[in-house]
Amino acid sequence: TYTTQSGKSNYAWSVTGTIGTDYIITSGGTPGDNNLTLKWLSTGSKTVTVNYTGGGCSGITPASKTITVNANAMITVQPVSPAPMCAGSGSANLGITALGASAYQWQVSTDNGSTWTNLSNAGSYTSVNTATMTITSPAASLDNGKYRCMVTGSCGVATSFSATLTVNSTNIDSQLTSGQTQCINGSFSPISVTASGSGLTYQWYSNTVSSNTGGTSLGTSNGAQTGTFTPMALVAGTAYYYCVVTGTCGFSTSAVSGAFTVTPENTITLSTGNNIQTKCINTAIIDIGYTTSGATGLSFTGLPAGVSGIWSAGNATISGTPTSSGTFNYTVTTLGGCGNKTAAGTITVNPVPNADISISETSGTTGNDGTICNGDAAALTASGGISYTWTPATGLNNVNTSNPIASPVTTTTYQVTVTDINGCINTANTLITVVPKVNTGEMFRKPNR
Residues 216-238: tens digit of each pLDDT: 999 998 999 999 999 999 999 99
171-263 placed in CATH 2.60.40.10: yes
Same fold, 74-168 and 171-263: yes
Q: Which residue has the higher pLDDT, 270 or 52?
A: 270
| Mean of the per-residue pLDDT values of the chain | 93
Question: Per-residue pLDDT tens for 382-410?
Answer: 999 999 999 999 999 999 999 999 999 99
Question: Per-residue pLDDT tens for 279-299?
Answer: 999 999 999 999 999 999 999
Q: Domain segments of the chain: what residues?
A: 2-69, 74-168, 171-263, 267-350, 356-435
Question: Per-residue pLDDT tens for 189-215?
Answer: 999 999 998 899 999 999 999 999 999
User: Which option is the CATH number for 74-168: 1.20.58.2030, 2.60.40.10, 3.30.930.10, 1.10.287.990?
Assistant: 2.60.40.10
Residue 132's pLDDT is what? 98
Of 48-62, 335-349, 432-446, the range with the highest mean pLDDT is: 335-349
- pTM for the whole thing? 0.63
Neighbours of 270 (CB within 10 A): 15
Residue 323's pLDDT is what? 97
Question: Per-residue pLDDT tens for 111-135?
Answer: 999 999 999 999 999 999 999 999 9
Residue 442's pLDDT is what? 47
- Asked if pLDDT for residue 362 goes beyond 80, the answer is no
For the domain spanning 267-350, the CATH number is: 2.60.40.10
pLDDT over 70 for what percent of the chain? 95
User: Which option is the CATH number for 356-435: 3.40.50.150, 2.60.40.10, 3.40.228.10, 3.40.50.11540?
Assistant: 2.60.40.10
Residue 443's pLDDT is what? 44
Band of pLDDT at residue 365, cut at 50, 70 and 90? low
